[in-house]
């Protein structure tokens, strides 16, 4: 019995190796892997350009000229001196500021006036229509108005009859740090599982459509053994990629903590999506329908993840920066247990299928 079991294990491994080797023939998959490899290998260089898209205000040397007018233009001008990249130009009238804006002498216009009772300040912001600088202009205006609001709160605090809660000091955080750990690393670690799930759909449906599933069973192995081999190759490919990406990130001086829990989490995510792909492939037996359903369901599930106590991307980010909480590790354990249960359910579903009916 142990000898037969060993034979089956070898068959599963052979099927898994065959599925991984077949990826070299999938040009789309290879291109996706090469893009991820390039991003991970040159992340330190690319993160500068990518951060400028993620946070335009992080680009040094980019400044804007803002025309200000109204009752409190002098206050806005003083505040603008405290905001990097913003130069305020005072105008006596709103029409004068708008004329300069139309001629391109200023990038935006702010019209600030006090209300009749003087308790509020209304600010009207005028920015250019969509162009390459619009996003930067809007971000800089937001920074200016945020600083202006903070200044007004400080000025009016002497008139309060109670002591308000003090605002925390501004943190001098690098946008590159935030982008790297909240966008880049989760992106690199989640793409491999999603690709593995998509490949698992093709791995099952192609065998059915080509009629080669019966040939695999000549070994003889059951449908469950075939599914085990295919799922094994795809589920293990994702953490292998993740480990390579983490290694390449470390070469770019981007440290990633808690590598083992991250790999466990990636494996759990990969197992979930691979199981989804395999079940859809067996249920539909058609590649196009299965891929469409897979794409829709993956997007839906990833969207519904916002209702979890902690989003999977947040879990990865917390682990990577070594600020994981008990809830973070609970997520890793929960996803691992859930993945194991789903995989067991998929094997049971496969065992109930009559191969000749596919």
Taking the C-alpha atoms of residue 335 and residue 341, their distance in angstroms, rounded to an integer, is: 10
Handedness of CA 143, 148, 154, 160 (dihedral sign): negative
Please give the pLDDT value at position 300.
92
Q: Which CATH architecture has domain 56-159?
A: 3-Layer(aba) Sandwich (3.40)
Please give the pLDDT value at position 333.
94
Closest CA to 216 of 358, 29, 26: 358
Please give the pLDDT value at position 21.
65
pTM summary value: 0.65
Closest CA to 43 of 172, 209, 180, 156: 180
Taking the C-alpha atoms of residue 190 and residue 238, their distance in angstroms, rounded to an integer, is: 9
Please give the pLDDT value at position 7.
43
Domain ranges within the chain, ordered by starting residue: 2-53+175-357, 56-159
* 79 contacts 147 by C-beta, under 8 angstroms: yes
List strands edge to edge, sheet with 121-126.
Answer: 86-90, 64-70, 108-114, 121-126
Helices 259-284 and 185-210: crossing angle in degrees, nearest 10, is 30
Supply φ then ψ for residue 357, to 5 degrees: -85, -10
Helix, strand, coil shares of the chain, percent, nearest 5, are: 70, 5, 25
Give SS3 for 265.
helix
Please give the pLDDT value at position 8.
45
Taking the C-alpha atoms of residue 221 and residue 79, their distance in angstroms, rounded to an integer, is: 75
Q: Output the CA torsion 307→309→314→320 (10° steps).
A: -160
pLDDT by residue for the chain (358 residues), tens only, comes to 444 444 445 666 776 676 666 666 666 666 666 777 776 666 655 555 555 555 555 555 457 888 888 888 888 888 888 887 788 888 888 888 888 888 888 888 888 888 877 678 888 888 887 666 677 788 788 888 888 888 887 777 776 666 666 666 665 556 667 777 888 888 888 888 988 888 888 888 877 777 666 665 555 667 777 787 778 888 888 898 888 888 888 887 888 899 999 999 999 999 999 999 888 888 888 888 888 999 899 989 888 888 888 889 899 999 998 888 999 999 999 999 999 999 999 888 888 876 666 5
Taking the C-alpha atoms of residue 147 and residue 113, their distance in angstroms, rounded to an integer, is: 17
Taking the C-alpha atoms of residue 176 and residue 54, their distance in angstroms, rounded to an integer, is: 9
């Amino acid at each position: 019995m142990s000898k037969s079991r060993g034979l089956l294990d070898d068959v599963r491994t052979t099927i898994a190796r065959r599925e991984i080797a077949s990826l070299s023939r999938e040009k789309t998959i290879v291109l996706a892997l090469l893009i991820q490899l390039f991003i991970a290998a040159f992340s330190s260089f690319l993160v500068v350009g990518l951060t400028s898209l993620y946070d335009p205000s992080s680009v040094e040397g980019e400044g804007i000229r803002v025309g200000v007018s109204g009752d409190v233009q002098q206050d806005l001008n003083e505040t603008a001196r405290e905001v990097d990249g913003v130069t305020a130009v005072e105008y006596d009238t709103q029409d004068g500021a708008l004329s300069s804006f139309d001629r391109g002498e200023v990038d935006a216009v702010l019209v600030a006036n006090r209300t009749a009772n003087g308790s509020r300040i209304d600010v009207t912001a005028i920015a250019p229509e969509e162009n390459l600088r619009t996003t930067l202009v809007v971000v800089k205006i937001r920074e200016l108005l945020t600083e202006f609001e903070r200044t007004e709160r400080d000025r009016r605090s002497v008139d309060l009859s109670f002591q308000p809660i003090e605002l925390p000091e501004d943190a001098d955080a690098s946008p590159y740090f935030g982008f790297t750990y909240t966008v880049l690393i989760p992106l690199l670690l989640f793409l491999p599982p999603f690709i593995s799930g998509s490949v698992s759909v093709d791995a099952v449906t192609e065998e059915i459509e080509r009629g080669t599933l019966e040939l695999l069973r000549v070994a003889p192995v059951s449908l469950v053994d075939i599914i085990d081999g295919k799922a094994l190759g795809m589920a293990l490919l994702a953490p292998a990629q993740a480990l390579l990406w983490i290694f390449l990130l470390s070469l770019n001086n981007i440290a990633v903590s808690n590598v083992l829990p991250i790999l466990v989490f990636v494996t759990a995510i990969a197992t979930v999506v691979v199981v989804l792909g395999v079940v859809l492939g067996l249920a539909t037996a058609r590649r196009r329908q299965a891929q469409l359903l897979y794409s829709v369901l993956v997007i839906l599930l990833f969207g519904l993840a916002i209702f979890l106590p902690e989003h999977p991307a947040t879990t990865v980010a917390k682990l990577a920066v070594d600020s994981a909480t008990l809830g973070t590790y609970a997520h890793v354990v929960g996803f691992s247990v859930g993945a194991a249960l789903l995989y067991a359910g998929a094997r049971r579903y496969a065992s109930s299928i009559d191969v000749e009916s596919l």
